[in-house]
Chain A
């Protein structure tokens, strides 16, 4: 029953996103409108995939570091992506795909640096070291980014920072195709780790005794979650709260078993982002809000209500 509701809500969210926008298009003309075909449909689908990817990455990371505050962007990836994007603009890298590619490269560089630092304390990727490495690498990248911005002609780079706040206005069928081809591999890597991730919740040693290979599991899940996040940041900037709050909502409603939690988080993240983006496009039309603001405005109250119910129960 829960699944029917969730899948139904996913479909409804995408349909709502396609049917609404700053331009009024009668329902009968939806199918033939180039605005719907070239802009709204790819944007709604991309939003769903990005939201789902962020929620799955957040779920995996929270289990990995056993810390409820873990967020896909806590691990320094947003700092790395921001540095990549700002460097691309400051160096005037040419081409229509320069910005997303540079952001992706920056996120990957941050990921590898954090990963390398995380291994300092041993092959098991100690969660405390990993979190610390993530925060430190993120701050370092943010410092370089701010240095570039403050030394350059401000106008364009301010706009780059606005892009970093998150938005799906770069959505197109080509972007969607790239993301749809890219996401399955890291998603599957995390999905097949569902059972060992459950065991990890018991602590490293019990998990080891129960048959989870803790060290490779941590490395695998960290890399897969980071690859999901890097792709998300490349096509839509830093969209906060989806990866932090959706896993918690999922746990409150679905329990802690990752075999059900991961798909539920994927659908929940997709729904949250698609609905948020629909609001971001329409409430101040023709202007547009950064979608990360809306995800926080929707996600936090929903989370607060669920949390109260859960604590009372």
Chain B
């Protein structure tokens, strides 16, 4: 019974595939060329088949554009999606070990844009290994990089569709009702998220107003006094643990001066969805909005 239904499934899929109009599959670019986030021209002779991804956000994006099977190396911290865990680790993403990267014979290396990756970029060039430098910090970056990675790995259609979906998300009008939030990433010295961060954008679209939106940086150390003075309704912390617990700093006497801490209005944002820019922005916004509803 089960076997025959499976057969029907396969037959159905084959029929559908045959019926699909050809136009819906844009021709795969034979020699993809893009300009990366560092302004470098990256041209390949053929779509990359062996990609080393040196940032968790790029690894997730590669899987999202359908290039997961082409990834042959990742960093220790690339753990999403779960399938990424079976890819061999080549070390760290900042100041990477070029030798172990070269050892897996990549035809494309995805680097995070950072001054500490300059030397690695030059060494890869000397070795004749093409590299693309990406900087994913905000929603628009994820959209742009989805197109870049889609093109370079031979999945331009998927890259485009992720990018357009993210553009739609970014263009949404934020909810009118809003909650004032301070995103605390560290307690001593207090470090908060500013306007330059993905979390600030996702929060805004979910109905959270970052009380430190005036800081242009992605994050910055601030005085505890200014957190008290700005009096956020909620303190949000990004939490990697599966069972979120009240952060230890909430028990510190100086943090008790923050009314939201005293009242226990603390939101735990799961790290794998909120800790870095991700193509799952729509999901992140929905989860965030649900969490906000619990404290409102």
Known: A23-B225, A286-B223. A35 touches B188 (CB 8 A): no
**CB pair A169 B252 closer than 8 Å:** no
**CB pair B188 A39 closer than 8 Å:** no
The yes or no answer to A288 lying at the interface (CB within 8 A) is yes
The yes or no answer to A67 lying at the interface (CB within 8 A) is no
Q: How far is the CB of A150 from chain B (nearest CB, A)?
A: 8
The yes or no answer to B82 lying at the interface (CB within 8 A) is no
The yes or no answer to A254 lying at the interface (CB within 8 A) is no
How many angstroms from the CA of A276 to the CA of B264 in the assembled complex? 33
How many angstroms from the CA of A281 to the CA of B94 in the assembled complex? 32
The yes or no answer to B254 lying at the interface (CB within 8 A) is yes
Question: Which residue of the partner chain B has the closest CB to A150?
Answer: B92
For the residues of B in contact with A, the DSSP-based class is mixed
**CB pair B221 A288 closer than 8 Å:** yes
B: number of interface residues (CB 8 Å): 31
Q: How far is the CB of A233 from chain B (nearest CB, A)?
A: 13
Give per-residue flags for B219-245: 1 if the beta carbon is below 8 A from chain A beta carbons, else 0: 011111110111000000000000000
Give per-residue flags for B152-186: 1 if the beta carbon is below 8 A from chain A beta carbons, else 0: 00000000000000000000000000000000011
Question: Which residue of the partner chain A has the closest CB to B93?
Answer: A154
Quick one: which of A22, A150, A172, A286 contacts B254, CB cutoff 8 A? A172
The yes or no answer to B249 lying at the interface (CB within 8 A) is yes
**CB pair B224 A169 closer than 8 Å:** yes
Q: How far is the CB of B247 from chain A (nearest CB, A)?
A: 9
Known: A96-B248, A167-B188, A167-B189. A281 touches B221 (CB 8 A): no
> 26 A-B pairs, CB-CB below 8 angstroms?
A22-B226, A23-B229, A34-B228, A34-B257, A38-B253, A38-B254, A38-B257, A39-B225, A39-B257, A96-B251, A150-B92, A156-B186, A162-B189, A167-B188, A169-B254, A170-B252, A170-B254, A171-B254, A172-B254, A173-B253, A281-B223, A285-B226, A286-B222, A286-B223, A287-B221, A288-B223
The 8 closest A-B pairs by CB, nearest first: A286-B226, A172-B253, A23-B229, A172-B254, A159-B186, A96-B251, A38-B257, A96-B252
Beyond A39-B224, A163-B189, 6 extra complex contacts between A and B, CB < 8 Å: A21-B225, A22-B225, A23-B226, A23-B228, A39-B254, A288-B189
